[in-house]
Structure formats: C-alpha cells, structure tokens
Amino acid sequence: MTYTPRTFNLPTLSGISEKQIAVHLALYEGYVKHVNLIADQLKQVREGSLSLDPYVVAELRRRFAFEFDGMRMHEYYLEQFEGGAQGNQDSSLAKKAIEKYGSLDGFAAHIKEVAGSRGIGWVVVYYDTVVQELHTTFVGDHEIGQLSGLPIILALDLWEHAFMVDYVPAEKKNYIDAFLANMNWTVCEKRFEQVTV
Ligand SMILES: [Fe+2]
C-alpha cells in the first residue's frame, strides 16, 4: 500500500498567493510521504523483518493518525478551491445550513467564530446522518477531536502555515475571509449529496 500525492487544478485565488499555495502543497506532500514511511515501518514490524521497542511501535501507530489525517484533511481543503468561487444558495446543503444557523450568512459567521478558536487545527463541518444535522467543530492538530464516522462536508485549515506567507498571525481573520471568498461550495454540496441520497 502506497499513497500518492494528489494534484489539484487550482485557479488564481484572491487573497491567497501562489507562493502560499506552493508552500502548502509541498507540506501536503510531506504528509503523504510520512504516511507511507510509517505504514512501511509498521508493515516490517508486523512481518517480523524489523524489531522496534514496543513504545516506539505504539508511538508510530499514534503518529500514523496525525500523518494520515494531515494528508486527507489537506485533500479536503485544497479541492475546495478547484473550479473557483461558486455555490448554489438553493442547494440541499444550503437549506440544511439555514435550518441550523438561520441563514447562509449565519453559517459563515459561525464558521468564522469557530475559526477564532485558539490553537492550531481545523474548522470541520460534518454531517451526522443519524440526526440529519450539521456539526461545526474545531479539530486540534489534524486528528484530535474528529467526530467518529461522520462525513466531512467542509475543512478549513487553521494552522499558521496555511496563511503566514500572506498574513501575520494577527491577520488570521483576513485569511479566513479569503478562504470563504474563494470557496467552491459546489464541492461541499456534492459531498453532502453523496451522504444524503
Ligand atoms: Fe495545512
């Protein structure tokens, strides 16, 4: 099993520079590399060709979640820019968001509020098919606080590496505004439709 970095067809973004994206893509590829490295080490341990201290093996297994979610979350993030800023205010996702957050502006305001959480991590919007409700939460690092089994509808990277080529930490709000302004919501709408049909 080997993961291959995905390529993304990204348009010119407003408020997020090409250099910022290039730095971020390189970092994403680092996560893919380390997923493969850890998976290979664990495979060798499993097959008996590599002997490691059990503490090291246990840490590698924990570390796998960090690297794996680092890989997968960036794929959710980056593909949201593909196709350029667009969305359908009458989509089933929009209707579901309005149900909980009052309006699409209310949904965006809530995302911004959660994005103001201190620390590095992600704003993640999930959909729980059990109660047919969206949940907007903050995930620490890439894996701490993920909601088990829930499909991801939106992922907003709030690690400082996501914006510090273009903004200083005090300008994080500008980055969040730029992220939302560049969002192709039809990507999120498709994710939502896939779990609600
Ligand atoms: Fe990132």
Q: What is the pLDDT of residue 150?
A: 98
Q: What is the pLDDT of residue 7?
A: 97
Kindly report, residue by residue over 15-57, the tens digit of the pLDDT: 999 999 999 999 999 999 999 999 999 999 999 999 999 999 9
Distance 20 CA to ligand 1 centre (A): 10
**Residue 59 backbone class (left: φ over 0; alpha: ψ -120 to 50; beta: rest):** alpha
Residue 183's SS3 state is: coil
Is residue 29 within 8 Å of residue 5, measured between CB atoms? yes
| Residues 6 or more apart whose Cβ sits within 8 Å of residue 141 | 66, 69, 70, 120, 121
pLDDT band at residue 197 under the 50/70/90 scheme: confident
Distance 101 CA to ligand 1 centre (A): 27
Residue 114 reports pLDDT greater than 90 = yes
Distance 52 CA to ligand 1 centre (A): 30
pLDDT band at residue 90 under the 50/70/90 scheme: very high
| Residues 6 or more apart whose Cβ sits within 8 Å of residue 46 | none
The pTM of this model reads 0.97
Q: How far apart are CA 87 and CA 196, in angstroms?
A: 18
- Mean pLDDT taken over the chain: 97
Distance 63 CA to ligand 1 centre (A): 17
pLDDT band at residue 1 under the 50/70/90 scheme: confident
Q: What is the mean pLDDT of residues 116-141?
A: 97
Q: What is the mean pLDDT of residues 135-158?
A: 98
Q: What is the pLDDT of residue 10?
A: 97
Q: How far apart are CA 156 and CA 123, in angstroms?
A: 5
Q: Which residue has the tokens 């997968």?
A: 72
